[in-house]
Amino acid sequence: MDENEKIGAVSFFERPNVQTETIPVAEGVPFGIESVTNPALGIGGAYAAWGKGYNNLELPAFVGQRLGEPLAEADVMNLAELGFVSRHHTPDLTETEHLELELEVGARLLKQAARASGWDPSEVQGVLIGMSAPVSIDYVAQIARRAGIPEKALKVSVHKACDGSMGALNLALNPQLAVAGQVNVAEELAGKKVLVGGIEGLSRFTTHARDKNALQLFGNGAGAIGVVPGENMKLLVGKSTENYDDEGLLQVRMYYPHSKEMVPGRSMLEVSQEASNHIRVAGMMHEPADGLPIVMAGLMGMVKLFVRSGVDIVTEVFNEYSDLMSKLDSDKTIDIGIVHHANYKINLLKGKQLLKAGIEYPMPWLLSDFGNVSAASCMIAFLRQLQSIKPGDHVMFDGFGAGTYYDVMAVSMG
């Protein structure tokens, strides 16, 4: 990151291929979207942000407005050091306005992602979206309908905090994740045209937050890709796991249906059939006791929460991948790792810990102009790398989020 970026003058809306417009909600909300296509792989997608852009110099005043009092100088984070220089926030809106805004964002994202994949929205047969805090319970069904996707298409809503989009991708690729008595999503979608992504209106979610770190780290973002499971993206090995955050290092309120019961020996994930073609995967969270949306234990708490378990899980999947390559008598290795952008220091430390275990592959930092956008981050990071990926390349996806949830996969491209 150069010195100009550290000052904080870079905005996603300023990228040369971003299409910008104003969504007519309230006094108008700026919206930007960028499409990416790799014809050699047969994969495309789109990613977006909405709301005014705030660089690191402008952000403290905005956070102070949210808090109702100035942000003390001692509380201003060194965000450039964490890899972030800009992010997008919406103004104060009514619930109806938030709903209309995010429905329009989601519909535009799905339409653009389908077209970038060479499809008409009417051809899409599945939509899987990760969301930390959906603006409405039937959000995925509503945006699919508004985008012109057939009602019969399978919809899957995945609520696993920042791991949501990777949980969705794992479900689309891995038939072993099926829950008894429920639709086997991977088997149902094999060979079909599927949109997978993450959509996070985190500015809305943090509107009433009092956590000063959360207010500085998070922003709006969305990304979706078009895949044909088993054809242009093939699962090699993968793992989905959970580990309850007993200490409450990252507490997140559940704004989606969940019994909120912890039963020994039973998964924290609850899978429900919302409709004949709409499945919900909802994860248990350690919720704040005071009704607030989010409470963080600080940056070292995030390192403690994600790095140790994350390294163990990535190591396990990488070793399974290496065993598979040995059985295939192949010297192939991972070409690139797409890792959730919680912050640069977490990913840097993960990389160093993996190196101690003899595991090394490129883990590029690609989202400095978004802030932490939770379940959208891996999709945006993948799209920013997409045009450099070649047929036959192997990609490691590494998703992790509050709860705590992990989805790690090695896939073959094209």
**Tokens 């799209």 found at:** 383
Lowest mean pLDDT among 11-15, 32-36, 199-203: 11-15
Q: Tell whether the torsion through CA atoms of 258, 260, 262 and 268 is positive or negative.
A: positive
* The three-state (H, E, C) secondary structure of 98-167, written as one string: HHHHHHHHHHHHHHHHHHHCCCCHHHCCEEEEECCCCCCCCHHHHHHHHHCCCCCCEEEEEEECECHHHH
Instruction: Provide the domain limits for residue 226.
Output: 3-413
User: Does residue 299 carry a pLDDT above 90?
Assistant: no
Give 156-176 pLDDT, tens digit per residue.
999 999 999 999 999 999 999
d(CA 236, CA 240): 14
Task: For strands 154-159 and 278-283, give the pairing.
Answer: parallel
Beta strands in 243-322 (DSSP E): 250-252, 269-275, 278-283, 294-296
Give 173-189 pLDDT, tens digit per residue.
999 998 878 899 999 99
pTM of the model: 0.96
At residue 280, φ and ψ (nearest 5 deg) are -120, 130
Counting residues of the chain whose pLDDT is more than 70, the rounded percentage is: 98
Q: For residue 274, what pLDDT is reported?
A: 86
- CB neighbours of residue 183 within 10 Å: 17
At residue 75, φ and ψ (nearest 5 deg) are -95, -5
Residues 145, 151 contacting (CB under 8 angstroms): yes
Give 127-163 pLDDT, tens digit per residue.
999 999 999 999 999 999 999 999 999 999 999 999 9
User: Does residue 9 carry a pLDDT above 70?
Assistant: no
User: Does residue 3 carry a pLDDT above 60?
Assistant: no
Domain count, the chain: 1
Q: For residue 298, what pLDDT is reported?
A: 83
Best CA proximity match to 193, nearest among 230, 235, 141: 230
Q: For residue 171, what pLDDT is reported?
A: 98
Task: Tell me if residue 265 falls in helix, strand or coil.
Answer: coil
CATH label of the domain that carries residue 266 = 3.40.47.10
